Chain A
Amino acid sequence: MAVEKMSIAKALNESLRKALEQDPKVLIMGEDVGKLGGVFRITDGLQKDFGEERVIDTPLAESGIVGTAIGLALRGYRPVVEIQFDGFVFPAYDQIVTQLAKMHARALGKIKMPVVIRIPYAGGIGAVEHHSESPEALFAHVPGLKVVSPSNASDAYWMLQQAILSDDPVIFFEPKRRYWDKGEVDVEAIPYQLHKARVAREGSDITLAAYGPMVKVCLEAAAAAAEEGKSVEVVDMRSMSPVDFDGIQASVEKTRRLVVVHEAPTFLGMGSEIAARITERCFYHLEAPVLRVGGFHAPYPPARLEDEYLPGLDRVLDAVDRSLAY
């Protein structure tokens, strides 16, 4: 066992370092990823150790970054692209959706697209406009892409390496307000499956399903509910495409109640899909309708209002109470 305590940011950095060491075809690309080490320092020190040919500072052009990464993948490289912030991915959305996602199918499987797109996402850091969004549903909706988000340091370390090893394009959402949260990482462990949900806390009365930054909120809610005698199970979904519906279903068949929690607007969000599928799968097990807690159908608000916008402990506990009241 080689267990180390590190922040999510450090775990991601170590993960990239390991990927660069293990495969000379792995490249890091993005704005400011070189000398600066990225605006969140996730690539800190990597250019120094692996050189400008492996850790590539790019012009400030997201479509260009993803489009050239596609070309490099066609040449046999495995580019790991950094999009600086969630709201900046849209200039590259065309390349991701019309090209990256479809290349494998278009070539009848003859070519592969091992491209990882890392996106620091979601709110809670007091940032300005376009720096706090949660666009995961827009990517999960697109066939050909895989979409994941770690919630802790161990997953950050392992899931990123698994994403890099994948022959499919992976959109890797990093919960930026959790970058500095520390956790234990076993760097020699056999990694958990990339697209499998994990029970983060056992419970028997109700299930909370969440991913990325909201897992911590749900764990806090579960702890608070326990003081009131309610047993809350928390499922960390980890993957938004594919979703481990079997994992969520197993928990719901046990607790008979489900609340899905995310920061993104609830309308047509991940919660909608999970509510629909779980209702289909678990109709006779459910004691209450599947509820959703998420953002509003409004642009992400100015930072002074984000605490009101973001689902917090109270809104999650309110949903727990509403579900249990059925």
Chain B
Amino acid sequence: MTVESTAARKPRRSSGTKRAAGAASAAKPAAATAQTHDAVPQLVQLLTPEGDRVENADNAEFAPFVADITTEDLRGLYRDMVMTRRFDGEATALQRQGELGLWASLLGQEAAQIGSGRALNDEDYVFPTYREHGVAWCRGVDPTNLLGMFRGVNHGGWDPNTNNFHLYTIVIGSQTLHATGYAMGVAKDGADSAVIAYFGDGASSQGDVMEAFNFSAVYNSPVVFFCQNNQWAISEPTERQMRVPLYQRAQGFGFPGVRVDGNDVLACLAVTRWALDRARRGEGPTLVEAFTYRMGAHTTSDDPTKYRRDEETAAWEAKDPILRLKAHLLATGGADEAFFAELETESEAMGKRVREAVRSMPDPDTMAIFENVYADGHALVDEERAQFAAYLASFESAEEGH
């Protein structure tokens, strides 16, 4: 047994397990209509931090949505999380080595992203923030594509329509409106697909997110708002963002909100499938609050030791999404050591590939400054392009003159 899985098996009094143990009073958890502050967060959980499957009133509506999940599927989810964490770790290291200007780590949020990401169909459309590396992985986006903007060679650069994965959005919450508008279009087209918008707990303070909730409710749009409440908006804790549990906000807009254990990949998969299913059936938007934790810094620019306590981080470490699935797989015989060893080799190879790809990523051509400013062209851009080209050429002719 590894050190990590020992940690995962420490007796825990997480709010989720407490709830699962006895306080299963809410008959209709899905609609999440609680009017009062929950001292204990109401969580949909299928896999405890110790890796045990649980059945209770809170998860009864959602569990059927993962009834088809086989042991092989579980290994797949595990692989997704490990590969994503490995990629994320590599990117963090590359930033430290000066190869990337910035990195927004997803460490700790693998279950929320892989669980929701694997709930999607190919036709569904994803609107990410800038931390959805795990969702990108699920969509088949080449991980190296995500690094261009952090290296500073482009602002995104991939074609969103290749994988139905929109560009990363830096301004907080803007993309929730784009997702809503896109979903309005999906509904107009009569398409059998849904849209998912990712955002964080900090974004829930933005007006755009409220407007997205309202527009989607008014137009009954097939959109799932997937909030990863990772407890911190840079240095601001959730207490500085909201006075009512986030998922409860949906009720005020007229659609259901669900809080799911964001470190439980199976629960995230089940709840997101449920929400997407509602959307596809024409039942409108859903807010999913994945209750999780950002184990690292907001980005490589900040220092979490300045604003949060070690004990808090340690408490969340015991709920690690990868360790809990590993514990489950080991306990149920779903995977053996050979599987984990093979995965280790695979993830190392991916890390190496990413490292090499970033280091050999070419800087863009200087004249790219003037490219794609407009689709139909613009006289001023043409003029400035020509002037700058002549200016650059003047150095070459000066050199030739010597």
User: Which residues of A come within 8 Å of B, CB atoms?
Assistant: 53, 58-59, 61, 63-64, 66-77, 91, 94-95, 98-99, 102-113, 143-144, 146, 166-168, 195, 241-246
Interface centre among B161, B188, B218 (most CB of A within 10 A): B188
- Is B185 on the interface with A (CB-CB < 8 A)? yes
- Is B378 on the interface with A (CB-CB < 8 A)? yes
Name the A residues within 8 Å of B188 (CB-CB). 53, 77
Please give me the residue from chain A that is nearest to B171 by CB atom.
A98
Whether A105 contacts B211 by the Cβ 8 Å rule is: no
Whether B373 contacts A143 by the Cβ 8 Å rule is: yes
- Is B372 on the interface with A (CB-CB < 8 A)? yes
Instruction: Tell me, in angstroms, the Cα distance from A74 to B178 when the chains sit together.
Output: 8
Name the B residues within 8 Å of A241 (CB-CB). 378, 380
User: Which residues of B come within 8 Å of A, CB atoms?
Assistant: 154-161, 166-167, 169, 171, 174, 176-186, 188-189, 207-208, 211-212, 214-215, 218, 371-376, 378-381
* 4 nearest A-B residue pairs (beta carbon): A71-B181, A67-B177, A75-B185, A68-B181
Name the B residues within 8 Å of A105 (CB-CB). 155, 371-373
Please give me the residue from chain B that is nearest to A77 by CB atom.
B185
Residue pairs across A and B with CB atoms within 8 Å: the count is: 149
Q: A106-B155, A195-B379 given as contacts; is B178 within 8 A of A71 (CB)?
A: yes
Name the B residues within 8 Å of A66 (CB-CB). 177
Whether B380 contacts A69 by the Cβ 8 Å rule is: no
Whether B155 contacts A70 by the Cβ 8 Å rule is: no
Whether A107 contacts B185 by the Cβ 8 Å rule is: no
Whether B375 contacts A99 by the Cβ 8 Å rule is: no
Taking A67-B178, A72-B181, A74-B178 as given, write out 9 further A-B residue pairs in contact, using a Cβ cutoff of 8 Å, ordered by the A residue number.
A63-B211, A95-B174, A99-B169, A99-B171, A112-B375, A166-B375, A242-B379, A243-B380, A246-B379
Quick one: which of B167, B183, B380, B381 contacts A107, CB cutoff 8 A?
A: B167
Whether B184 contacts A242 by the Cβ 8 Å rule is: no
Q: Report 22 cross-chain contacts, Cβ distance below 8 Å, ordered by A residue.
A: A63-B211, A64-B214, A67-B174, A68-B212, A70-B178, A71-B177, A71-B180, A71-B181, A72-B184, A74-B160, A74-B182, A77-B185, A98-B171, A105-B373, A106-B154, A108-B154, A111-B159, A112-B375, A166-B375, A166-B376, A167-B376, A245-B379
Quick one: which of A99, A112, A143 contacts B174, CB cutoff 8 A?
A: A99
Whether A99 contacts B214 by the Cβ 8 Å rule is: no
Whether B160 contacts A61 by the Cβ 8 Å rule is: no
